[in-house]
Amino acid sequence: MKVFKKIPTQKPKTPLLDRVNVPSEMRSFSINELESLANELREFLLYSVGKSGGHLAGGLGVIELTIVLHYLFDTPNDNLIWDVGHQAYPHKILTGRKDQIESIRKKNGLAPFPARSESEYDSFGVGHSSTSLSAILGMSEANQLLNPNKKHIAVIGDGAMTAGMAFEALSHMGHLKSNILVILNDNDMSISENIGGLSNYFSRIWASKIYKGIKKSGASFLKPLPQAYHLARKAETQMKALVAPGTMFEELGLNYIGPIDGHNIKELKDVISNLKDFEGPQFLHVITKKGAGLDPAEADRIGFHAIGKINAIKQEKSDQKKYQDIFSDWILDMAKKDNKLIGITPAMREGSGLVKFSKEFPDRYFDVAIAEQHSVTFAAGLAAEKMKPVVAIYSTFLQRGYDQLIHDVAIQNLDVTFALDRSGLVGEDGPTHSGNYDIAYLRCIPNMVICTPSDEDETRKLLTTAYEYDGPAAVRYPRGIGPNSKVEESLKSVPLGKSRLIFKGNSEIIMLNFGALLYKAKKVAENLKLTLIDMRFVKPLDEKMLKKYLSKASMFVSIEDACIKGGAGSLVQEFCSSERINIQSVLFGIPDQFIEHASRDEMLDAAGLTSEKIESKLKELLE
């Protein structure tokens, strides 16, 4: 493997890669040519992501594996799924999208993850982790009658095996005995001699056609003698357990092979080409290095998981804090005040702003891995014993723990605070990561409090308010920076369910703001002389304020960075109906569609949530 000291800024020469527009065009390559192709692909990936920004380290770790899989299997006729999708950039480059790769994550460009609508080579759309095994099992079963010769491969890794859903699928896979190849891309450990020597030797034996024949004939010979068959099978399992960590997968009904070196093309080719013809579910354990081939990325896998453009014009470093930094400061200060506070995150320590907390309060910090369901019920258990858990989780990921939120937290009215980062339109990661639905799916749950802060200072105050509430409460805030409001350092709260009047204007039209788009609402209210109220809370609503202003108005306008269907604006409509307030309404929010990846500002524009578009529509209605 060619190793690079830095990301190249000049487009590299890639004569072999230039010949590969689709995978079938490399299937005549020799082993030496495949190894050269890997070097070219790695250098081109470094160059292209350096220009576009995006996920880097995961893709660098699967260069060789990607090449071998497309070399050996008849893609796109065979199904190949990449779990999560962070690691799929090399796959995109080899499947006809090389010239578009610099557009990745940009408006009208390539999707950040595999997408069925983008290419026939993307067998299944992904974004959240740990979905690949369930999907590939469904595909395999669908083709038992339709196309029994079709191959089915799932590559899972990058932490995705920490989710319970993956093991649910493995258990079902072992029961059904489907012809599936599961590849565990294990990039969390280095390849050392004790792994690479003896275990690789046995891996080649277990994946060989000779061993397959012996195993098959031996099984048929011994099955009439149940005790002898059982002892032979037990001996085989124990022999594997001596040199490989695969006993658990064997017990689930999968044939475990590995671990093998995921950067050795010949090793990968020899083992996988044999596994192609095995019957039943096969589990291949491949050891890779995340960030392989770039020295800085190998040394800092977290830092190089995703990068910005390296050739962007350097700006002076801003002191402005992101919303996640506001949360980070708040949880530190609150933990110093209250020794019952417990911080929980499902594998999002850096993204959620819990790095400082984890270092200062290691005994009160829990990263439960990619296990959102567990994180919620774990918090419920803590709360049941009078602790004060704070679950820092992305809005889109809380969707995965919805039953636990209802069944384990809300029904028992347990005191759990949810800090919902990345609420609303999230930007370049697109619809799989946008937190559009939290207001709609939370407001229908009894006992819930839902806070929608409008700026950094309000975020800190409402976090305290939610924390002090004795029951389940959620505070939703967006990705990135806010309007740069001055933040009070105290741990001051606000009265539960109390809104605030921002601007008093035309009493005939009342504008109600829910959340971080207040700065846009202010421009519209000032230009059109409308009364503006920052509601702060979706639940409980400030009914006193609403009755005071809406009972005398002809129209209310609601603004929220969340879905219109079932959102905050529709909740106000329900309130007006129940109170028999006869009033017109105009709801601004995310329309009933998935808005594709772009910058956050571009996504807001597509949703009609710019000051200009809101004002234009209101003027049109008023005229």
Identified catalytic residue from 97, 290, 364, 539? 290
Strands (E), 84-224: 152-157, 181-186
Alpha carbons 182 and 282: distance in angstroms, whole number: 6
Nearest alpha carbon to residue 576 among 567, 588, 585: 585
Q: Which helix (H) or strand (E) holds 101?
A: none
Whether the ω angle into residue 76 lies within 30 degrees of 0, i.e. cis, is yes
What does R_g of the chain's alpha carbons equal in angstroms? 27
Catalytic residue among 92, 105, 400, 522: 400
The amino acid at residue 146 is L
Is 543 in the active site? no
Closest by CA to 122, choosing from 162, 197, 70, is: 70
Sign of CA dihedral 368, 372, 374, 379: positive
Q: Which candidate in 372, 456, 458, 602 is catalytic?
A: 372
Active site includes 400?
A: yes
Spatial CB neighbours of 254, under 8 Å, sequence gap ≥ 6 = 170, 173, 174, 182, 280, 281, 282, 283
Is 290 one of the catalytic residues? yes
Q: How far is CA 427 from CA 107, 166, 606, in A?
A: 10, 28, 12
Q: Give dist(CA 543, CA 577) in Å, integer.
A: 13
Q: What is the 3-state secondary structure (H, E, C) of 471-495?
A: CCEEEECCCCECCCCCCCCCCCCCC
Contact 296, 304 (CB under 8 A): yes
Alpha-helix runs per DSSP H in 53-120: 57-61, 63-72, 89-92
Distance CA 477, CA 607 (A): 18
Distance, in Å, from the CA atom of 259 to the CA atom of 245, rounded to the nearest integer, reads 8
DSSP string, 514-576: ESTTHHHHHHHHHHHTEEEEE--EEES--HHHHHHHHTT-SEEEEEEEEESTTSHHHHHHHHH
Beta-strand runs (E) in 107-208: 152-157, 181-186
Q: What is the DSSP letter of 11?
A: P
Largest CA distance in the chain: 90
Q: Which residues are catalytic?
A: 290, 372, 400
